[in-house]
Structure formats: structure tokens, C-alpha cells
Amino acid sequence: MINKPPPSIIALDGPAASGKSTLGRILADSLGYLFFDTGIMYRAITWIALQRNLDLRDETVITELAKKAQIDIRPPSKADGRPCDVILGERDVTWEMRNGEVDANVSVVSAYAGVRQALSEQQRRIGMRGRVVMVGRDIGTVVLPQADLKIYLDASAEERAKRRFDEIIARGEKADYDEILRKVIERDRIDSTRAVAPLRPAEDAIIINSDKMNAKQVFAHVMELCK
């Protein structure tokens, strides 16, 4: 019997904290593929804009920044749970990019058409090489509509807030569940109602709700789909 090769371009979309990155990482590892979390790029632009005190409401300025920014993603240099190092200039901003200030502002930045165009082009160029698991919000719909397998990973806002909360506590930091839940809901609202590339499943995506599944079960299910 001839085994079919696994899908080469895998698009993995879904709302904040649905478990996309965890799934994407183990999926890419087990297939020997590149893992590419596109949220990092939107976060990096937001982080630089905040750092430079730029006006986040100024679409022209933020778009120019997105066109020029050099975002360097390297293999992880520390075993502290990071999937990769994110370097801007010479500075390691891997965890800083996940801070509350970036969380609160990244949806505004990622709603700008010019920002999306600049970043999507870079993502598409990398994705089209194949053997890739690309994670985001619009990978199956806009960045790589020709993907061989499209997964839309969903979970309730409460479950996702709980996972974010546990993650922060595990890093030894303080967290407020209600505050996290409020932010998750607000980010969903902005991500799914924006005019350009809103968060939604592609018509040919397979939708998985992970509320009652742990990471291992979701992974096993997706590996079955890859066969």
C-alpha cells in the first residue's frame, strides 16, 4: 500500500488562546515542518510602536513601520517555554511581546490594511515553500487559501481565559482571571469585526472545538486528519 504524504501547507487559525500555538508547535515538530506563528509579527510591530511612543491611531505611520521593520525569529535560546526567540535589533523581546500593553493594543495595529498587506506578503512567501504549519487568524482565508489542510481551532472565551490565566501563573507572574476574560472577549470582538481579513473559518476549514479536549487529544485528532 502506498501511503499518501501528509499535507505540506497546514493553515491553523482560531481566536486568542484557543491552543493554536501549542498544537502548531507539536504538529510541526512531529512532521519535521517549520512552525510559524504569525501573531508574533503583529505583536512585534505593536511593541516597537509603543516603545517609540508612536501614535497607534495613525495608520500611515504604523503602516510605514510594518513595511520597514526587521523582525528576526530564531530557534529558542532558553528552555523557558518559548517556541522561538524574537529579536528586534539586538534585543530579545520574546516575553515582552506578550505583555498586557501589547495585548491591549495589538488588535488596533492588526486591523490596518497596509500593515496586514506588508506582513501577509512576508508570510505567504515563507508559507509557499511548503512543509509548514502556519498559525494565525487569516491563514486559511487570506494568506494561504491554497493550503492543503485548514484547521480552525475554537474554544469558549471562559476556557481560553482560564488557559491564559494558568499560563501566566505557571510563569510565576500575577494574573486576574476576570480581567483576562474581559480582554479575551474584547480582542475576539475586534478581530472578528474588522473590515480586512476578519477572524473567521475558511469555508473548507475543519472546525475543532477544544473545550473538552486537552492538548494531546487535539493533537491526536489533527494527526488523524493529516493521514
Q: Where are the strands (E) in the chain, listed by range? A: 9-13, 34-37, 71-74, 85-88, 91-92, 132-136, 149-154, 206-209
Long-range Cβ contacts of 54-63 (<8 Å, 24+ apart): 56/105, 56/108, 56/109, 57/108, 59/112, 59/114, 60/114, 62/109, 62/112, 62/114, 62/115, 63/112, 63/114, 63/115, 63/118
Of residues 106 and 222, the one with the C-beta less far from ligand DC: 106
Residue number, 1 or 24, with CB nearest to ligand DC: 24
d(CA 222, CA 227): 9
- Tell me how far, at minimum, the Cβ of 106 lies from ligand DC, in Å: 4
- Could you tell me the smallest distance in angstroms from the CB atom of residue 120 to ligand DC? 8
- Looking at the Cβ atoms of 38 and 63, the one nearer to ligand DC is 38
Q: How far apart are CA 93 and CA 40, in angstroms?
A: 10
CA angle 140, 9, 194 (to 5 degrees): 20
Q: How far is the CB of 107 from ligand DC (least distance, A)?
A: 4
Strand order across the beta sheet in which 132-136 lies: 34-37, 132-136, 9-13, 149-154, 206-209
Nearest to ligand DC of 83, 136 (CB atom): 136
CB 200, min distance to ligand DC, A? 12
Please, which residue, 16 or 62, has the CB nearer to ligand DC? 16
The secondary structure element, H or E, covering residue 192 is helix 177-193
Site residues, ligand DC (CB under 6 A): 16, 38-39, 42-43, 106-107, 110, 136-138, 187, 191
- Which of 56, 147, 160, 74 lies closest to 110 in space, CA to CA? 56
Nearer to ligand DC, 7 or 37 (CB): 37
| Least distance (Å) between residue 171 CB and ligand DC | 16
User: Least distance from C-beta 110 to ligand DC, angstroms?
Assistant: 4
